[in-house]
């Protein structure tokens, strides 16, 4: 059933006539929810438009994060918040209005689609469509819970997921129309072929133990649980490409839980895309672009993108395998577990391009004691200096991963809350550190970094790092061990 007919059915079941509204030339059916207890059509329109355009609220929050007043344009009597990435640029009012309207329209369709799925899985719910962003989030969580818990037959679950593959492939092709590019078309065709294969084979093979196990893993993934496939064994996946002469890939595997904690304390977790202040849209655990299951770059993060913790965790692993491991293979000596963790974390701080040919990598290969101090040359941004100071403090033993589990990951409770002069020797009243002859910051107080972390914890942290990590990682750190598993990601 298409979206319009689904909404019409909501009205017919209540014995009422569907009501429609035209916005920017598109005739939209107003969900029945907005007519409940409404005094007249004007009130229905007001309620609907308030939820339809609540994307503006999210766009406005980006400005508030940077302490700025939102920029607003008006088109056809409706106000639109200019996406933050367009602030300071020249733009046409209608261009902004179309972009924001498109976001609102996608949310409208997503709300209807989720309600349809929920009612298919649990007809007794009789859920009706509400299109606010908060309602969409609640519906997504409800649908995932129903999919994992309500449908107990594994073959049926496979068919449902297959149907989603087919629908997503077909819908994407229809929506994109003639403007679709070849690479994108290949992805849609691939999804459709996979869906067809699952539909054809899931019933026949549904009772086979192997298929049952795979479907069980799928349901656990949807439920947000960690499966045996949640970790990548870098020594096995990347070992065929590189000669692990110094054993650093194996060390990375052994220290991976510690790496997860350090990265979470540096990057935090963001379900929705945000501007990092330099025009780079970022999501999850610090991703600025997507990497697909074949290790290919799959496009930059876009405003309005959302991601689950499970998907973000996988994106981080793929990024490490594709970009960090090649840099690690350039190090010409065996590193300790802390050094490997610090090295990968440094890549997240300064970027893989800087890391690949950096003086830091050369000094680390030589075993030079100034290697970690040399990171201060990348401190054009105060945030980078603070992050590299925290990384160095971990490597030098001033901060442990057990400390970082209880450290904060949101602003005000993380390393960004410190002053540069808390970690570096600066002239009095200045936040610009003294430099030595090599251009490094002259004195880095790693012990004070540790004091800052523990002091923040002592004052009370509302958003600890442990809350954004898989339970198994937290348990391994608390038990004093870092365990890695051989992943079933081998085919990737």
The pLDDT, as a whole number, for residue 267 is: 86
Residue 195 CB-half CA count within 13 A: 17
The pLDDT, as a whole number, for residue 222 is: 46
- Fold for domain 234-491? Lysozyme (1.10.530)
Is residue 63 within 8 Å of residue 69, measured between CB atoms?
A: yes
Given a cut of 60, whether residue 282 has pLDDT beyond it is: yes
Residues 155 and 159: their CA atoms lie apart, in Å, by 6
The pLDDT, as a whole number, for residue 275 is: 81
The pLDDT, as a whole number, for residue 54 is: 92
Residues 226 and 205: their CA atoms lie apart, in Å, by 25
- What percent of the chain is modeled with pLDDT above 70? 75
Residues 29 and 5: their CA atoms lie apart, in Å, by 9
Give percent helix, percent strand, percent coil of the chain, each to the nearest 5.
Answer: 60, 10, 35
Given a cut of 60, whether residue 489 has pLDDT beyond it is: no
Instruction: Assign 336 a pLDDT band (cuts: 50, 70, 90).
Output: very high
Is residue 84 within 8 Å of residue 66, measured between CB atoms?
A: yes
- Mean pLDDT for all residues in the chain: 78
DSSP notation for 112-135:
HHHHHHHHHH-GGG------SHHH
pLDDT mean over 208-234: 49
Instruction: Assign 41 a pLDDT band (cuts: 50, 70, 90).
Output: confident
Residue 141 CB-half CA count within 13 A: 6
Given a cut of 70, whether residue 97 has pLDDT beyond it is: yes
pLDDT mean over 240-261: 86
Give the residue extent of every domain in the chain. Answer: 3-222, 234-491
Report residue 180 as tokens.
Answer: 């679709």
Is residue 354 within 8 Å of residue 301, measured between CB atoms?
A: no
pLDDT mean over 283-309: 84
Return left, alpha or beta for 479; rule: phi > 0 is left, psi -120 to 50 is alpha, else beta: alpha
Higher per-residue confidence, 7 vs 373: 7
The pLDDT, as a whole number, for residue 140 is: 86
Report residue 186 as tokens.
Answer: 């290949």
Given a cut of 50, whether residue 484 has pLDDT beyond it is: no
Range of lowest pLDDT (208-217, 240-249, 305-314, 337-346) = 208-217
pLDDT mean over 252-258: 90
Instruction: Assign 14 a pLDDT band (cuts: 50, 70, 90).
Output: confident
The pLDDT, as a whole number, for residue 492 is: 29
The pLDDT, as a whole number, for residue 23 is: 92
Range of lowest pLDDT (10-14, 55-59, 121-125, 433-437) = 433-437
Nearest to 320 by CA among 378, 387, 361, 263: 263
What angle is formed at CA 283 by the lines to CA 276 and CA 103, rounded to 5 degrees?
Answer: 95
pLDDT mean over 52-76: 87
Instruction: Assign 61 a pLDDT band (cuts: 50, 70, 90).
Output: confident
Instruction: Assign 462 a pLDDT band (cuts: 50, 70, 90).
Output: confident
Q: For residue range 105-154, what is the model confidence (pLDDT) as tens digits?
A: 989 998 998 898 888 888 887 889 999 988 898 888 888 878 776 544 55
Nearest to 411 by CA among 453, 463, 467: 463
pLDDT mean over 19-45: 89
Residue 194 CB-half CA count within 13 A: 15
The pLDDT, as a whole number, for residue 62 is: 82
Range of lowest pLDDT (59-63, 124-128, 244-248, 437-441) = 437-441
Q: For residue range 363-409, what is the model confidence (pLDDT) as tens digits?
A: 888 888 778 777 766 555 677 878 888 888 899 899 999 999 999 88
Residues 252 and 183: their CA atoms lie apart, in Å, by 33
Given a cut of 70, whether residue 224 has pLDDT beyond it is: no
Residues 485 and 492: their CA atoms lie apart, in Å, by 16
Given a cut of 70, whether residue 182 has pLDDT beyond it is: no
Residues 148 and 114: their CA atoms lie apart, in Å, by 15
Close Cβ partners of 221 (under 8 Å, ≥ 6 residues apart)? 227, 310
Given a cut of 50, whether residue 36 has pLDDT beyond it is: yes
Residues recorded for the chain:
492
The pLDDT, as a whole number, for residue 474 is: 87
Instruction: Assign 488 a pLDDT band (cuts: 50, 70, 90).
Output: very low
SS3 464: strand
Nearest-Å Rg of the Cα atoms of the chain is: 25
Given a cut of 90, whether residue 101 has pLDDT beyond it is: yes
Strand locations in 18-115, DSSP E? 20-23, 26-29, 72-75, 78-81
Instruction: Assign 176 a pLDDT band (cuts: 50, 70, 90).
Output: very low
Return left, alpha or beta for 412; rule: phi > 0 is left, psi -120 to 50 is alpha, else beta: left
pLDDT mean over 354-371: 85
């Amino acid at each position: 059933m298409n979206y319009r007919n689904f909404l019409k059915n909501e009205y017919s079941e209540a014995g009422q006539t569907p009501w429609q509204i035209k916005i920017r030339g598109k005739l939209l059916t107003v969900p029945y929810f907005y007519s409940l207890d409404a005094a007249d059509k004007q009130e229905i329109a007001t309620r609907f438009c308030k939820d339809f355009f609540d994307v503006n609220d999210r766009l406005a929050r980006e400005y508030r994060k940077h302490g700025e007043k939102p920029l607003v344009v008006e088109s056809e009597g409706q106000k639109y918040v200019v996406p933050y990435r367009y602030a300071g640029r020249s733009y046409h009012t209608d261009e902004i209005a179309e972009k924001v309207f498109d976001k609102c329209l996608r949310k409208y369709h997503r709300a209807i689609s989720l309600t349809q799925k929920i009612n298919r899985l649990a007809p007794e719910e009789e859920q009706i469509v509400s299109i606010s962003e908060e309602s969409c989030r609640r519906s997504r969580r409800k649908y995932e819970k129903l999919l994992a818990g309500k449908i107990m037959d594994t073959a049926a679950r496979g068919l449902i997921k297959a149907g989603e593959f087919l629908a997503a492939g077909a819908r994407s092709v229809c929506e994109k129309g003639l403007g679709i590019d070849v690479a994108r078309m290949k992805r849609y065709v691939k999804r459709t072929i996979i869906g067809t294969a699952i539909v054809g084979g899931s019933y026949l093979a549904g009772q086979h133990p192997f298929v049952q196990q795979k479907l069980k893993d799928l349901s656990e993934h949807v439920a947000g649980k960690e499966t045996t496939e949640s970790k990548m064994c870098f020594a096995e996946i990347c070992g065929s490409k590189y000669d692990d002469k110094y054993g650093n890939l194996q060390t990375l595997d052994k220290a991976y839980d510690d790496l997860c904690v350090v990265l979470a304390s540096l990057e935090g977790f963001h379900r929705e895309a945000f501007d990092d202040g330099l025009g780079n849209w970022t999501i999850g655990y610090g991703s600025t672009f997507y990497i697909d299951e074949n290790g290919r770059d799959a496009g930059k993060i876009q405003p309005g993108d959302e991601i689950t913790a499970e998907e973000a965790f996988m994106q981080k692993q793929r990024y490490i395998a594709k970009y960090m491991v090649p840099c690690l293979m350039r190090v010409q000596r065996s590193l300790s577990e802390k050094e490997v963790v610090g090295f990968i974390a440094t890549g997240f701080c300064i970027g893989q391009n800087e890391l690949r040919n950096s003086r830091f990598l050369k000094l680390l290969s030589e075993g030079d004691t100034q290697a970690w101090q040399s990171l201060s040359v990348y401190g054009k941004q105060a945030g980078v200096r603070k992050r590299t100071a925290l990384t160095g403090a971990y490597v030098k033993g001033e901060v442990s991963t057990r400390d970082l589990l209880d450290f904060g990951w949101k602003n005000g409770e993380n390393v960004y809350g410190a002053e540069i002069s808390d970690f570096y020797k600066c002239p009095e009243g200045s936040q610009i550190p003294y430099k030595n002859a090599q251009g490094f910051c002259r004195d880095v107080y790693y012990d004070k970094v540790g004091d800052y972390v523990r002091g923040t914890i002592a004052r009370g942290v509302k958003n600890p790092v442990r809350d954004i990590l898989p339970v198994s990682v937290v348990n391994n750190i608390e038990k004093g061990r870092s365990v890695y598993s051989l992943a079933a990601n081998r085919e990737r």
